[in-house]
């Protein structure tokens, strides 16, 4: 299982719409708006890195998304 947090910067005033769309994607466990440098975070849980890449690309290509940064969980 691959777990990751996707940090999302949205266009001004679009974060609510973006979060609602992201929550509907397969592999997204939760998504919510945040304060700070990013406008939203999506918690993604998928089987492998290929699926993670697919989810991140879907988020990155959504209308209203400016850019993303993905933090992949590691085991220590």
pLDDT class of 33 with cuts at 50, 70, 90: very high
Whether 75 has a pLDDT exceeding 90, the answer reads no
| Separation CA 70–CA 4 (nearest Å) | 7
Read off the pLDDT of each residue in 2-23 and give the average, rounded to a whole number.
Answer: 96
Q: What is the pTM of this model?
A: 0.94
Q: What is the pLDDT of residues 49-73, one digit of tens each?
A: 999 999 999 999 999 999 999 999 9
CATH 3.40.1030.10 fits 2-72, yes or no: no
**Interacting residues of 23 by C-beta distance below 8 A, sequence separation 6+:** 30, 31
Per-residue confidence (pLDDT) for residue 36, from 0 to 100: 94
The pLDDT mean for the chain works out to 97
């Amino acid at each position: 299982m691959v777990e990751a947090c996707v940090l999302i910067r949205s266009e001004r005033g679009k974060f609510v719409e973006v979060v609602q769309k992201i929550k509907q994607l397969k592999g997204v466990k939760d998504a919510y708006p945040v304060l700070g440098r990013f406008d939203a975070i999506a918690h993604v849980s998928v089987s492998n890195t290929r699926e993670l890449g697919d989810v991140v690309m879907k988020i990155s290509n959504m209308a209203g998304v400016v850019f993303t940064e993905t933090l992949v969980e590691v085991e220590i």
